[in-house]
Structure 1
Amino acid sequence: MKVFLRSLLAVLSVVSVAATANVLADAADKESVKAKIETTLKWRVDAIADSPVDGLLQISTENGLFYVSADGTYLLQARVYNLDEEMRNETETALSEMRLDGLKQFDDSYIEFKAEDEQYVVTVFTDTTCGYCRKLHEQIAQYNEEGITVRYLAYPRAGLNSPVYRQMVSVWCSADPKKAMTNAKSGSSVTPNSCDNDIAEQFRFGRKIGVNGTPNIVLSDGSIIPGYQPPEQLLSALKQIAG
């Protein structure tokens, strides 16, 4: 019996060492692929992990979610659907998790128009000069009446060296950001202001999670609506998510 136990322990030890070696090798391979992407494309890779598809790795970058072959040779921008799970969009599932997790970093940054009887909360990536962003803001009271709290994050479409970026910094740095937001979206002038702010981080995060225009509305489950939605249609979408 003792001989058997010693033999079993020896086998388990070998298996454990082999498993550890495989994990370390796998981690090393991922780091090698990460380094290649960052060196070749000059992109920042925030995370790299196995994907739902054998032979592909999933990478989260400053420019969005991509897939790369395990040897780092091929890069794919694609949507992965699971045929065994009613065509579940695996890419969107991953992005939704990234959005909800990443939004937490801006808890102190939102310009929020809160519903008195709050039932739902949405995050809107906005640009003070975009027509449909202005249309959405004109109806902010109606969204609130429907129980929808609207939180704004900045996404200056013209980039971080543009006049609209500077205007949005002034809005966020204003003594009354809500009033400044309303003034900017009505075409009124905004007093130039500056302060420590994370507008650039808001913009980069939006790009990372698939925002490529404004308004883009992040819903309570992390899904995103690219474009303007009237209050009643947005409420319907939120009710559907809530079940």
Structure 2
Amino acid sequence: MMVNAVRISLAALAFTACAALAQDNSAQTESAASQTPEQTIKAQLDKITGGAPLGPVRPSVIDGLYSVQVIGGPSLMVTADGQHAIMGDAYEVTAEGLVPVQDPYLINSRKEFVSSLEENDTINFTPSDGTKHVAYVFTDVDCGYCRRLHSQMHEYRERGEKMPGYNDLGIEIRYLAYPRAGANSPSAAKLESAWCAAEPAKALDKLKNLEEIAPASCDAPIEQQFLKGGELGVTGTPSILLPDGRLFVGYLPPEKLLQSIEQGE
């Protein structure tokens, strides 16, 4: 029922793209007239990604370029003829320096995804004194920084000092599944067992602490969240998604996350 994840090496993709996009220019020119830019770009990318799933091809924030997300890999900006691709973030030149450009399409897609989530779609760790902020975290149980994030849910020690955890700061952590090795991997099976457990939060807590739990199976959203995360720009774990559509790929300590949340309010 689940599909295998396709993990794309950025360096390999860049090398392969340069070689593949340079071939068959004449054939591409002949066929381009009968295709939309979206169709042309998808056809070209299919040649170099080995059939990796792709997000929708759409106009980018830079006029004349199109954006597409390789699921589990990089985000690309591609010319309309599919002959040139750029990997990396886009920046706006301002008086203060280079500022990352937020893609309105992705921001809206992330907001829509968050608003579509139902209670059983996430495994939640809620502050005992009440929730002030919510952060959605794409997680994998076999990920060192994911375990580090989880170990700081409550008060922890850093360089001998006591530090407030996410819940202590009023941040409710709602976990989403993102098994980096793919939707058919042992990591995915562990996540499914947690989602299907009688007490999902306790089960996930055990997995984060390298303890075993009883295998379980149900209609858990592991595959759906893995694929959706890739569409939304998740390329690794943990990735922190805020309700306002901002995404932070990588670990943020509790106080840094709170600062980031409050800066966007």
The TM-score, its normalising length taken from structure 1, stands at 0.76
Aligned letter for 1:65? Answer: S
Structure number with higher relative contact order (C-alpha < 8 Å, ≥ 6 residues apart): 2
Q: Give yes or no for the alignment of 1:112 onto 2:124.
A: yes
Match of 1:21 in 2: none
Q: Which residue of 2 aligns with 1:9?
A: none
Q: CA deviation at 1:195?
A: 0.8
**Unmatched segments (≥5 aa) in structure 1:** 1-25
TM-aligned CA distance change 1:208 to 1:64, over 3 Å: farther
Q: Which amino acid aligns with 2:146?
A: C
Cross-structure match for 1:30: 37
Q: Distance in 2 between matches of 1:50 and 1:27?
A: 19
Structure with more helix by fraction: 1
- CA contact 1:65–1:208 (8 Å) conserved in 2: no
Note if contact 1:57-1:70 (Cα within 8 Å) is conserved in structure 2: yes
Task: Provide the secondary structure at the position in 1 that maps to 2:244.
Answer: coil
2:242 is aligned to 219
Shift of 1:184: 1.1
Q: Which residue of 2 aligns with 1:73?
A: 83
Q: CA–CA distance in 2 between the matches of 1:98 and 1:214?
A: 19
Does residue 1:135 correspond to 2:142, yes or no? no
Q: Where does residue 28 of structure 2 map in the other structure?
A: none
RMSD: 2.8
Q: Secondary structure at the match of 1:184?
A: helix
Offset, 1:169: 0.9
1:185 to partner: Cα distance: 1.2
Match of 1:56 among 59, 65, 72: 65
Q: Are the equivalent residues in 2 in contact too, given 1:220–1:238 (CA < 8 A)? A: no
- Greater mean deviation of Cα atoms: 195-204 or 81-90: 81-90
Tell me the CA shift for residue 239 of structure 1: 1.6
Change over 3 Å in CA distance of 1:52–1:139 after alignment to 2: closer
Find 1:82's aligned residue among 92, 96, 104. 92
* Identity of matched residues, %: 35
Equivalent residue letter for 1:74: H
Q: For residues 82-114 of structure 1, what are the alpha-carbon distances to aligned partners after superposition, in whole Å with 9 as ceiling and x for unaligned?
A: 326864423555433333233344434111112
Q: Which moved more, 1:137-146 or 1:194-203?
A: 137-146
Does residue 1:207 correspond to 2:207, yes or no?
Answer: no
CA distance in 1: counterparts of 2:251 and 2:38, whole angstroms: 40
Cα distance change on mapping 1:43 and 1:151 into 2, 3 Å: same
Deviations 1:168-211 (A, max 9, x none): 11011111101101111122211000011220121222233332
SS in structure 2 opposite 1:47?
coil
224-233 vs 121-130, greater mean Cα deviation = 224-233
| Deviates most, 121-130 or 32-41 | 32-41
1:183 aligns to what SS in structure 2? helix
Paired amino acid for 1:30: P
The residue type paired with residue 78 of structure 1 is G
Identify if the C-alpha distance between structure 1 residues 50 and 135 changes in structure 2 by more than 3 Å, giving closer, same or farther.
Answer: closer
TM-score by length of 2: 0.70
Larger CA Rg, structure 1 vs 2: 1
Asked if structure 1 preserves the Cα contact closer than 8 Å seen for 2:138 and 2:175, the reply is: yes
**Do 1:64 and 1:209's aligned partners in 2 also have CA atoms closer than 8 Å?**
no
Across the two proteins, how many residue pairs are aligned to each other?
217
